[in-house]
Amino acid sequence: METVVAAKPIIKVAALCGSLRKASYNRGLVRSAIELSKSINGLEIEYIDIEPLPMLNTDLEGKGTFPPTVEAFRQKIKEADSILFASPEYNFSVSAPLKNAIDWASRPPNVWADKAAAIVSASGGSGGSRSQYHLRQIGVFLDLHFINKPEFFLNAHEHPAKFDGNGNLVDESFKKKLKEILISLQRFTLRLEGKL
């Protein structure tokens, strides 16, 4: 009699970048995460562009409806099992575009609720740690569940050689750290969903 091995559930990750620059280091982290995910069985990452979102204005809401770009964005978040944030640090906090995206998806019904999440940052100074801590605080209200470890902070100003001229991550040691984040996010998501 043949033994049937159950296929590993596919975890769908929505990846958001808080920087709108095409060659930003944080976008580079997302591109690298997508590439790395191809070597992780059962993990799929989709980049969700937040640039088209209008600034939050509840006058744009109808009775239970949102502008089409917002509706499409909210649906992508709703369909995802977990979230990967690439969060630069602006003035000791998260960027305005990322906060705007977070706020739109939090409008009732809150589509962030009960999802696993992870944060990676490439920034100056502390490598984005302050933005990550603020994002974790926001996540408490949104019922987002962040992995605690490992953490990923990269001081891109002190170590620009870790990226190429297009903002792509080229440093193998940091690629390894990024893959560890993805594996941790996958396992935590499976635990939250009762599949592990």
Asked if residue 19 belongs to a domain, the reply is: yes
Confidence band for 2, pLDDT divided at 50, 70 and 90? low
* Rg of the chain (C-alpha set): 17
pLDDT tens digits for 52-108? 999 999 999 988 799 999 999 999 999 999 999 999 999 999 999 999 999 999 999
Output the DSSP codes for 30-72.
Answer: HHHHHHHHTTSTTEEEEE---TTPPPP-GGG--SS---HHHHH
Asked if residue 149 belongs to a domain, the reply is: yes
Residue 5 has pLDDT above 50, yes or no: no
Q: What is the mean pLDDT of residues 35-39?
A: 96
Q: What is the mean pLDDT of residues 18-45?
A: 95
Asked if residue 1 belongs to a domain, the reply is: no
Residue 46 has pLDDT above 70, yes or no: yes
**CATH code: domain of residue 34:** 3.40.50.360
Asked if residue 4 belongs to a domain, the reply is: no
Looking at residue 101, its pLDDT comes to 98
Asked if residue 178 belongs to a domain, the reply is: yes
Asked if residue 3 belongs to a domain, the reply is: no
pLDDT tens digits for 116-164? 999 999 987 777 889 999 999 999 999 999 999 999 999 887 877 899 9
Look at the chain and report how many structural domains it folds into: 1
Q: Name the pTM for this structure.
A: 0.93
Domain that holds residue 132: 11-56+65-192
